[in-house]
Amino acid sequence: MNDKLDRFINYMGNVRKLSDNTVESYSRDLRQYIEYIKSKNIASFKNTNKTTIITYLLYMQKNGRATSTISRNLASIRAFYQYLASERIIDRDPTLDLESPKVEKKLPVILSSKEVELLLEQPDINNAKGIRDKSMLELLYATGIRVSELVSLDFDDINVELGYIRCSRNNDRERIIPVGTIALDILGRYVCEIRPELVKNKSVKALYVNYKGERLTRQGFWKIIKGYKNKAKIKKDITPHTLRHSFAAHLIENGADLKSVQEMLGHSDISTTQVYTQITRNRIKEVYNKAHPRA
């Protein structure tokens, strides 16, 4: 079974050209599924059927897995069986008639302006690590780019003098995003003072690097922002995506038009961007309820 999975993972990564994170997610979900069906003494994917998959999904639910997690696992299983059917490893795809569980859409966590300021104040800019970290945090909040896009930035993707970054993701079209003066100042300091010390190999293209001079990873950044969140004693559950959400919500809250925000975020569908209007409406209602004497 694992050999079939390895072929599928290779196909998704090298033929479909999916991102590393997506491929890792497929691999993780499907290895867990394979462990489950092996525990049921099923030795071949040919011996699985719709009931097998439904039983597995119920097993996940019984073990307290979130609906979103179950839905994502089903998507991974569905893609895998489609591949097996296309390769004629199985006669029929058992996921054809299966419906994904409905996932309740939760509004993303947004930091207030004061919380953002508090978080951005945490790095110590008297040392190299602090300058690098503050540059990353400021750039995320100034541009709203994804963390995967942040760590994928190359040195040639920035223009400090003209005040913009060039951002592209997988096969998405390129985006040119303006950068505010505060983020530009610390970015310029990082580029001039810190990066040359960290990058030993001049062939390295990455903008943000670790102490080995290698491109910083998403996991590395996650540890960084988690550390500063704890240091700032912010109680909200902050993820690397929180600054992106806050960037969008604060822009709309302060009068930016939805189309411009969509463009900066790189959303293909404006309905994805519209979630931030709901957040701002909720916040306005909270302020009203707290402040108005007859609320």
Average pLDDT in the 64-68 region?
A: 82
For the chain, state the CA radius of gyration. Answer: 23
Model confidence over 193-227: pLDDT tens digits? 999 999 988 889 999 999 899 999 988 998 999 99
Model confidence over 144-170: pLDDT tens digits? 888 889 999 999 999 998 999 998 755
Cα 36 to chain centroid, rounded: 28
* Angle at 267 (CA atoms; ends 79, 217), nearest 5 degrees: 70
Cα–Cα distance, 268 to 294 (Å, whole number): 42
Domains of the chain: 2-86 (1.10.150.130), 113-291 (1.10.443.10)
Q: At what angle do helices 113-120 and 128-143 cross, to 10 degrees?
A: 150
Q: Which long-range contacts (CB under 8 A, 24 or more apart) does 15-23 make?
A: 17/170, 17/171, 19/148, 19/170, 21/148, 21/218
Q: Tell me, what DSSP letter sits at residue 214?
A: S
* Angle at 267 (CA atoms; ends 263, 269), nearest 5 degrees: 110
Average pLDDT in the 84-103 region?
A: 82
Model confidence over 235-294: pLDDT tens digits? 888 887 888 888 888 888 777 777 777 777 777 666 667 666 765 555 555 544 554 454
Mean of per-residue pLDDT scores for the chain: 84
Per-residue pLDDT at 18? 84
